[in-house]
Chains A and B, each alone.
Chain A
Amino acid sequence: MMNSLLNNNPLRVAGLAAALLLLLYLSYASLVFGIIDTSWQTVIDAYTQYNGSNEHVVIKEVRVPRVLNALAVGASLGLAGAVLQALTRNPVADAELFGLNAGAALFVVIAVTFFGISSLTSFTWLAFLGAAVSGLVVYLLGSLGRDGLTPVKLTLAGAAITALSGSARHGMLVLNEKALDEVLFWLSGSVGGRKLEFLQAVFPYMIAAWVAAFLLARPIQTLLMGDDVAKGLGQRTLLVKLAAGAAIVLLTGSSVAVAGPIGFVGLITPHLARYLVGREMTWVFVYSGVLGAAILLAADIAARFIAKPAEVPVGAMTALIGIPFFIYVARKGLGKN
């Protein structure tokens, strides 16, 4: 079963270096190309010899936050997808499909509409809460029945929760136009146009969740052999599952808080990572993080150019890239898992 592309550790390290280089190049491209093309020299000048020119303002206020957002959110989403797919043993696990994004969005809209909350920190916490609640509901609905958790049931439950929270959100926004103005930009799912404060507010949680995910890599590897085997080996499976669940919620919640709902990065990335490095979870997680960041950066650059001068929300881009992939996986057969 180890028919992965990079099947020994030196190769994997080399592959990782290549991926990081790609990431660097994409970051550079994202900084330099856009409505106004700049140069690397200008980017450096903006920090060393800031002169308040348009270009410098654009770089400092728009481009750099955008790149940092894409990197952090992409890595978190990729990692969250990898943990989610391993935990549910489900190849089509994704925050968007499972209604986590929709739940987070609903909670934020409720808060704005009914409680007049508009501070960033509370947005963050509400997004966490929304992702956690809808994730829990979908998980419970998906594990109903004799055959337990199946991909199909999870996906359908996710679709139902997405529809439900979508209509509730929509209804509230119709009733309250002021709230619409406040949250509409956020609902569209984009890494651009967000100030760095958003990211700063959630970055500690992201870091904590990244660390937790890597610490959990080995226990999850054991868990993949089946609950009974893991228990037999002395693992406290419930504890591992809860910790992994918490990590997923932190990763998804903080990503949604920063960038709004962005789907399918978490679906594609782990497949790509597994294709490259096989089933060793530590490596899968590392690759998922790096590749997730790369995919989101690339999608964001594409979103800027495809409808120039207008910008396509990057969430729509990732969905259009992700759906063919989803259909491919669904066709390949979920029944066996």
Chain B
Amino acid sequence: MKKYLPLRNNKESFSLLLHKQTMLYLVLFVLLILVAAIVSLGIGEMKIHPLNVLKVFFGMGTEQDALIVGQFRLPRVIVAILVGAALASAGAILQGIVGNPLAAPDILGITGGASAAAVAFLLYFESASIQWLPPIAFLGATLTTLVLYALAWKKGVPPLRLVLIGVGIKIATNALITVLITFSPFLLQNKATLWLTGSIYGVDWGDVRLISPWTILLIALAALMARRVNVQQLGDEVATSVGSLVQFDRFALLVICAALTGTAVAVGGEISFVALLAPHIAKQLAGPSFGSALPLSACIGALILVVADLIARTVFSPIDVPVGVFTSAVGAPFFIYLLYKNRNR
């Protein structure tokens, strides 16, 4: 059996090789996400049988079930899927271009930059529409990325220096957030702190509408760049000699990565380590080719966040633990494991 499935139109103006194994995994993960979503929609203060959840989707459920599922739980699950996919794609892009398994937007302070910008926006532009939050967070993330890249630049950017300076930037953005919060009136402080904890508690359809166009557009853009990431992974010299605009592509990809991070942060706050975990699992399953790693990472990230959010809101019920707490509880040991695995590099 061949490993790839060619996909062409008759005039051959369009041609694509599909990695069969990746396709299989993609189908599997989409199914898993659906199952997790249906389970998650049914569990909570009011338990609803999964069959009844399905009935709601086909317009046959009771009015009460339809209200609970449609108004309260569905937006939260969709936001979990979107935020997880956005974070994981950002992580996949970053790992693809930095070539360092330890790189993730939250470890490098990109998430921190997005949060700082968002907190500043929440505190000082109180009356402004919440619609502006994603672009603002995106701006903060991009700015941080640029600063990070510039500071790490010294005849090129070796991955380890990038990570080291990223750790510093992260601490700086944290301190900046603390200072911003101290400057602001007490009432808003609570709002900002609550928002910061990395939780998708209390999201509604407005949030879904807010981030879904960005997430889908940006992931699609990243997918279009897949070939260029693959070329970059061969090293700068090889990439340049086969005609790739290395610096330009890298910059464009970094901006997409920052934008995805900003989108996720705008609704979810700082949810750590999803961006680190998902791409690693994806690469273990489907190999390093970015065309496979990106969609698979996105699916895995979405699955992780749906499951983590389900656990976070049910295990300690009635307390809604921020989902970020769970993702770091799993992600930080994994990071330590990666450190151990890469100890001789």
A residues sitting closer than 8 Å to B (CB atoms) are 92, 96-97, 141, 144-147, 151-153, 155-157, 159-161, 163-164, 166-168, 170-171, 174-175, 188, 263, 306-307, 310-313, 315-317, 319-320, 323, 326-327, 330-331, 334
Is B35 interfacial (CB-CB < 8 Å)?
no
Q: Which residues of B contact A146 (CB under 8 A)?
A: 343-344
Whether B107 is near chain A, meaning CB under 8 Å from some CB there, is: yes
Stretch of B80-88, B203-211, B322-330 on the interface side:
B322-330
Contact residues in A for B234 (Cβ distance below 8 Å): none
Any chain A CB within 8 A of the CB of B167? Answer: yes
Which stretch, B15-23, B171-179, B225-233, touches the partner chain A? B171-179
A316 touches B167 (CB 8 A): no
A-B contact pairs, 28 of them (CB 8 A): A141-B336, A146-B343, A147-B344, A151-B164, A153-B339, A156-B102, A156-B164, A157-B336, A160-B332, A161-B336, A163-B332, A166-B328, A168-B329, A170-B322, A171-B321, A171-B325, A171-B329, A174-B197, A174-B325, A175-B319, A188-B178, A310-B183, A316-B176, A319-B171, A323-B171, A327-B169, A330-B164, A331-B151
Residue of A92, A97, A174, A188 with highest tally of chain B CB at under 10 A: A174
Does B214 count as interface, using CB distance less than 8 angstroms?
no
Q: A167-B272, A312-B179 are in contact. Are A96 and B171 (CB under 8 A)?
A: yes
Contact: A97 with B167, CB < 8 Å? yes
B340 at the interface (CB under 8 A from A): yes
Are A167 and B339 in contact (CB-based, < 8 A)?
no
A312 adjacent to B336 (CB under 8 Å): no
Collect the chain B residues with CB atoms within 8 Å of residue A310's CB: 182-183
Q: Is B273 an interface residue (CB 8 A)?
A: yes
Known: A151-B164, A319-B171, A320-B172. 13 other contacts (CB 8 A): A145-B344, A146-B344, A153-B339, A155-B167, A156-B339, A159-B170, A167-B325, A167-B328, A263-B171, A306-B179, A310-B183, A327-B151, A334-B164
B322 touches A164 (CB 8 A): no
Question: Is A170 touching B151 in the complex (CB atoms < 8 A)?
Answer: no
B191 contacts partner chain A, Cβ-Cβ < 8 Å: no
Q: Is B200 an interface residue (CB 8 A)?
A: no
Instruction: Given A167-B328, A323-B175, decide whether A145 and B182 contact each other with a Cβ distance below 8 A.
Output: no
Out of B175, B326, B328, B331, which one reaches A320, CB within 8 Å? Answer: B175
Query: What's the Cα separation between A160 and B331 when bound, in Å?
Result: 9
The reply to whether B164 and A155 contact each other, CB–CB distance below 8 Å, is: yes
Q: Are A331 and B154 in contact (CB under 8 A)?
A: yes
Q: Which residues of A contact B239 (CB under 8 A)?
A: none
The reply to whether A327 and B319 form a contact with Cβ atoms under 8 Å apart is no
B169 nearest CB across to chain A (Å): 7
A166: chain B residues at CB < 8 Å are 328
Q: How far is the CB of B120 from chain A (nearest CB, A)?
A: 14
A26 vs B160: C-alpha distance in the bound complex, in angstroms?
A: 39
Task: Indicate whether B72 reaches chain A with its CB closer than 8 angstroms.
Answer: no
Q: Does B163 contact A (CB under 8 A)?
A: yes
Q: Once the chains are docked, how many angstroms separate the CA of A319 from the CA of B165? A: 14
Minimum C-beta distance from B114 to chain A (A): 17
Across the interface, do B272 and A156 meet the contact criterion of CB distance under 8 Å?
no
Is B161 among interface residues, defined by CB-CB distance under 8 A?
A: yes
B70 at the interface (CB under 8 A from A): no
Q: Which residue of A lies closest to B324 (CB)?
A: A167
Of residues 143 to 163 in B, which have CB atoms within 8 Å of A's CB atoms?
A: 151-152, 154, 160-161, 163
Shortest Cβ gap from A57 to chain B (Å): 25
Which residues of B are found within 8 Å of A170, using beta-carbon distances? Answer: 197, 322, 324-325
Tell whether, in the assembled complex, residue A307 and residue B272 are in contact, meaning their CB atoms are under 8 Å apart.
no
The verdict on B335 contacting chain A, using a C-beta distance below 8 Å, is: yes
9 tightest A-B CB contacts, nearest first: A145-B343, A167-B328, A164-B332, A319-B175, A323-B172, A316-B178, A171-B325, A316-B175, A144-B343
Closest to B334 in A: A160
In whole angstroms, what is the CA distance A70 to B151 when docked? Answer: 32
Expressed in whole angstroms, the Cα–Cα distance for A152 and B176 within the complex equals 24
Whether A313 pairs with B182 at a CB distance below 8 angstroms is yes
**B contact residues around A315 at 8 Å (CB):** 175, 178
CB neighbours (8 Å) of B183 from chain A are 307, 310, 312
Minimum CB–CB distance from A100 to chain B (whole Å) comes to 14
Bound: A97/B164 CA distance, A: 11
B99 within 8 A of A: no
Q: For the complex, give the distance between the alpha carbons of A127 and B198 in Å.
A: 27
Contact, CB under 8 Å: B172 / A319: yes
Does B243 touch A at the CB level, under 8 Å?
A: no
Report if B6 contacts A (CB, 8 A): no
Q: Bound state CA distance, A330 and B169, in angstroms?
A: 12
CB distance A156 to B163 under 8 Å? yes
Residue pair A160, B324 in contact (C-beta under 8 Å): no
Judged by a CB distance under 8 angstroms, whether B248 is at the interface is no
